[in-house]
Amino acid sequence: MIKLVALDMDGTLLNERQELGPAVAETIRQVRARGVRVVLATGRPLPGVMNFLPELNLVSDDDYAIPYNGALVQTTASQKVLIEHSLSYADYLRLYAQAAKFGLTMIAEDQSAMYTDAPLLTHRELFEAVDTNMAVKFAGPQQIARDIEFSKIMFFADKPLLDKAMPQLDPKLQTDFYANRSEDFLLEFVSKHASKGNALRELATKLGLQADEVMAMGDSHNDVSMFDFAGTGIAMGNAKDELKAIATGVTASNKDDGVAVALRQYVLDAQQ
């Protein structure tokens, strides 16, 4: 029986307008009322998750979130950090040098703000700040404290420029960090110990749950690690083919309340 459901947000929980549909919200509330834990697992920081939690009834001391693609596991009520895999100032400098070499915009995030010394931000980079409710601090290596710990560092660029830069980046970045190209214009770096799947496994262990009691839902590359761990992995109808290939099943798209459809089939109906 499924006792924990991990949900990706963008492209999964949220529809094409980045909204939480009423049918999805109601079904999640029903699932939570049955005693099944629902955990949002996302590349967003926790501030970019908080606005959705009250409507989902995920605001108690016993509710959790996995932000930053698994760099953190936090409680939603107190925002207490249970698990953390962060990046150091030295990691920041190393990635900064690569971004500068290939003309990529770099943004680094800690738990409260986004840091960049880019003179101009594109609409995509500004959208990242607005959509995640994060303050933007214009600071470079000389202005940032040496003891800072970052949860995530991102490279932004138009697709042709990022396509060209990717093969030329230091190949050790792929082994020294967990790198994920979550969008055509975005390459994300977190600790090599961090991924949604690792965070989900660590949280399940803390809660005394086995993999076959865990269900994960997603649509993109950064959800693969969750499917590798969870006993049940459900791909959205709009998911990448690689995710559908390893999924237990495929539900409707995020436009068509796919999360609600899957939760009814695999959780609510299964408990009757």
Catalytic sites, residue numbers = 8
3-state secondary structure of 222: helix
48 and 80 Cβ atoms separated by less than 8 Å: no
Polymer length of the chain: 272
Nearest of 228, 231, 197 to residue 215 by alpha carbon: 231
Task: Tell me how far apart the alpha carbons of residues 188 and 156 are, in angstroms, rounded to a whole number.
Answer: 9
Task: Tell me how far apart the alpha carbons of residues 104 and 96 are, in angstroms, rounded to a whole number.
Answer: 9
Answer left, alpha or beta for residue 195, where phi above 0 means left and psi between -120 and 50 means alpha.
beta
217 and 251 Cβ atoms separated by less than 8 Å: yes
Task: Tell me how far apart the alpha carbons of residues 191 and 222 are, in angstroms, rounded to a whole number.
Answer: 14
65 and 39 Cβ atoms separated by less than 8 Å: yes
Tokens of 93: 């400098």
3-state secondary structure of 186: strand
Residue for token digits 């926790």?
Answer: 46
32 and 267 Cβ atoms separated by less than 8 Å: no
The distance of Cα 221 from the centroid of its chain, to the nearest Å, equals 11
- Residue 187's DSSP bridge partners are 155
